[in-house]
A and B are shown apart, each in its own frame.
Chain A
Amino acid sequence: DGGITQSPKYLFRKEGQNVTLSCEQNLNHDAMYWYRQDPGQGLRLIYYSQIVNDFQKGDIAEGYSVSREKKESFPLTVTSAQKNPTAFYLCASRRQGPYGYTFGSGTRLTVV
C-alpha cells in the first residue's frame, strides 16, 4: 500500500544536539511538507519542497534545516539553534493540482 512513513515515533534530544526526523513516501507525490504542532494548537509550516533539490521556508523555519535529494524523502533536522524544539512534527505530501495532503503519523520530539 502507498503511504507516508515518519520515523521514529518518539525522539529524545539532549540540549545542544542536532536530530534528524525521517519522512519517506511512496505515493509518487511531488510536494512534501513539514509542520510543527504544539499541544492544543494548530499546524505551523516549517519547510516545504515542490521538486527534488529545491525547498522553501515556511512560517517558522528558524532552527530547522531540510534536504530533498530524492523525490521519496524529505528529512528534517532540528538544530541546536531551535530553542524550543519539543513538539509533535508532521510530514505530509501532495500531488500537483487541487488536492489535499497525505499526512504521516508524526514524530514526537522531547528535549531532555
Chain B
Amino acid sequence: GESVGLHLPTLSVQEGDNSIINCAYSNSASDYFIWYKQESGKGPQFIIDIRSNMDKRQGQRVTVLLNKTVKHLSLQIAATQPGDSAVYFCAERNEGAQKLVFGQGTRLTINP
C-alpha cells in the first residue's frame, strides 16, 4: 500500500546548527503534505504544510521542500534550539482521500 516513510529514525545536531529531516512518499497523487512536531507526552502540533503545486515554503526558522520528481519531502530547521528536540512526523494526503498517511517519525535531539 501507499506509505510515507522517513530515512532516519534519529537525528542529533548541535545547538545552533541547522537540521534537515527527510521523508519519502510513494503516492504521486498526493496533493498536500504536512509536518508535525510532537513533544514527549503531548499531541502533535502543526509546523508547516505545502501543496503539491509548490516546491518550497518557508515559515519561522523552518522550510519545507518538496521534490515531486523523486517523491521526497524535507523539513529544514535553522539555528536549532533545545526546544526543537521532539519527534517530527511527515504526512501526506492523497487527492480526494479523507485521511492523512503518516510517516514513522524522526526523533530530533539537540545537543548543547
User: Given A42-B89, A43-B89, A105–B43 Cβ distance below 8 Å?
Assistant: yes
Binary per-residue interface labels of chain B (17-52) against chain A in the complex, 1 for a CB within 8 Å, 0 otherwise: 000000000000001101010000111111001010
How many A-B residue pairs lie within 8 Å, measured between CB atoms? 52
How many chain B residues touch A (CB < 8 A): the figure is 23
A42, A45, A104, A106: the one contacting B41 at CB < 8 Å is: A106
Per DSSP, chain B at the interface is strand
Q: A43-B89, A105-B43, A106-B42 are in contact. Are A100 and B98 (CB under 8 A)?
A: no
Residues of chain B lying within 8 A (CB to CB) of residue A88? 41
Nearest-CB distance from B86 to chain A (Å)?
Answer: 13
A45 touches B99 (CB 8 A): yes
Complex formed: what's the CA distance from A95 to B99 in Å?
11
A90 touches B (CB below 8 Å) = yes
Is A98 within 8 A of B93, CB to CB?
yes
Contact between A90 and B51 (Cβ–Cβ < 8 Å)?
no
A108 to B36, CA, bound (A): 20
Contact status B103-A105, CB under 8 Å? no
**A23–B43 alpha-carbon span in the complex (Å):** 13
Sample of 17 A–B contacts (CB below 8 Å):
A42-B102, A42-B103, A42-B105, A58-B99, A94-B100, A98-B93, A99-B32, A100-B36, A100-B46, A100-B91, A100-B93, A101-B44, A101-B100, A103-B36, A103-B45, A106-B41, A106-B43
